[in-house]
Chains A and B, each alone.
Chain A
């Protein structure tokens, strides 16, 4: 266990051992899980999912104990600092409830067993349904050699991230760790070389890219490579669209060619190009929104849909 986690756990356990005299709200169930260290601006507590939001007073509620299942939220300009077993956390996102959940801090022995189990088998299901930490290569997509930049959503991960590329058979082809999560993209020569080597070895099938954040969050994308023969046909088809006089139409045509081959990332890029040429086209907004929805980026899909609806009004 890290020293900071150990100190926080020790502090929380110590603090929780002292009997309380006048609680604002009596916790009815669950184990104590933390304490409030600082309250700045408007901040609220709720004891259960349906319970009312109770305003926290900076003087009265500082060092207040927190229990599993309780929720914390800050208003505009508010900020909370809480001590949890996993460390000290700041809560600063307004209008979003942070619910105290059981934490799982593995011992060194448990980490060793977890690593052995990871080597032994692969998750045969989805992790909480999470499918799209990785933007590129997108899950279920096809990519081309030479256009294989790894992109991810940094908002979902703090600290550093690690990547692992493996063949569908489980053979690890490439791995790297300690990448700053805020970079959001990695143009790695070793990644491209690993893809090239795999392609030249004559193997085919699905490749799996796994990303693991230092906070334990993980994401996976299963993708495949466009074969050399298909790539030749693809380039020939793309050049056909270049001869079309209109740039918007050419971009949509290229997006169509990409979609036919499962090149999801490139399809989105082409549709974005078309939209940049006609930013208020209801049809293009709808097309792009549908593509994002299909490929799992529901946030971008709904933003485009809203934009389209606003244009209609």
Chain B
């Protein structure tokens, strides 16, 4: 019968194989397969996120103005279909009467090279400034004008503080939207422009405290030579409630009838009927795309109540090593126990398998708990589970191969040592 290796040697083998698996996982993560697997995990975890309270208790509400028909604005330079500004201002004023916490208008007001979208834009922006003076922050969308100096984001310096960026980062290939912007700064521009969610929530995502900064992060910085943007992961846990609980309003009377639903909330105004707007986005867990205003609303909810955390590269390695330690530790200790008891053959295979399965369940449960309680998206835990599953089948053959390779040398060494000992004894 073949002698089983000592627990210490088994531990050394396991650590060696685990290090190889973690390194292999690191390489796989950068490949398409790894990205798809991470996305799958992100989607699974999103579905497990704690369901938020009912729509009436959410801090954010969407006002759907899809039924407000666009009108044609004509000038000698252009002809354009636009949301009528007078009607929009009337709706926003009616919302302001409901004493909301803040109002965000998901319409791009940034001037193009032929000026504002409508001759009435300046008047509308002035009206929004008046609402601000009543103590209700109002923001309107800007898109391409963020490449200009801040004073020109909305055409005139006095409107600068109304500007909020409403771009949604393009998702990776075939992936639903998962990230939103906190702020963006174009090259050569003196200050960053906040996103609609950031401006409305007035929440600034600071880096984690020093103790945790190396392992966890709330934001990631996207930098190119043209711009820099701070991004964060979006919690779509409230999406269904936001869609179902939206306030339909094509005029100020519609709003007045539902005014109690606005009191104390952050209100986002936009074309919000799913399938109707031109700004449709695929999001996790929904078959049909949703209008962009819901992504802004979900991002606002995320910043206010449910920010998500993810591991840094260093944090991932430590997490993976910790998970691997969960397997080796019990195996090593059980092996020691069996050795002390003088049991021949070390840990039985079946017990090893039971231990591995137990640890896999434990890792999955920890991942689950981290999402539910801490909202830490340990998105690569499926890969860790895979690595742990591979661990057993890899360690044993490796041990055998190494054992076969090392045994002749060890036997020779033993023989030589025994010969030397005998010679010494004789002498």
Contacts and interface: CB of A to CB of B under 8 A. Distances in A.
Given A126-B106, A296-B70, A102 B155 contact: yes
B113 A216 contact: yes
A153 interface: yes
- Interface residues on chain B, size class: 35 or more
B230 to A, nearest CB: 13
A157 B170 CA distance: 27
B344 interface: no
Contact of A102 (B83, B152, B187): B152
B155 A97 contact: no
Given A124-B295, A128-B118, 17 more contacts: A91-B76, A99-B75, A104-B152, A112-B226, A116-B224, A121-B170, A124-B296, A126-B83, A126-B108, A127-B108, A130-B82, A156-B81, A215-B77, A215-B114, A217-B114, A298-B71, A298-B81
A232 interface: no
22 contacts: A96-B75, A96-B76, A101-B121, A104-B112, A113-B147, A117-B227, A123-B168, A124-B168, A124-B292, A125-B143, A126-B278, A129-B81, A131-B277, A139-B276, A156-B81, A158-B77, A158-B78, A205-B282, A215-B112, A216-B113, A217-B78, A221-B278
Interface of A: 49, 69, 71, 86, 89-93, 96-106, 109-133, 139-140, 153, 155-158, 168-171, 203, 205-206, 208, 215-217, 219-222, 293, 296, 298-299
A166 B184 CA distance: 24
A157 B123 CA distance: 25
A156 B79 contact: yes
Interface string B373-407: 00000000000000000000000000000000000
A203 B69 CA distance: 33
Looking at A114, A296, A298, the one whose CB has the most chain B CB atoms below 10 A away is A114
A128 B124 CA distance: 12
B270 interface: yes
A60 B147 CA distance: 41
Given A123-B108, A124-B293, A130 B168 contact: no
A99 B116 CA distance: 10
A168 B282 contact: yes
B210 interface: no
Contacts of B122: 69, 101
B302 to A, nearest CB: 15
B96 to A, nearest CB: 20
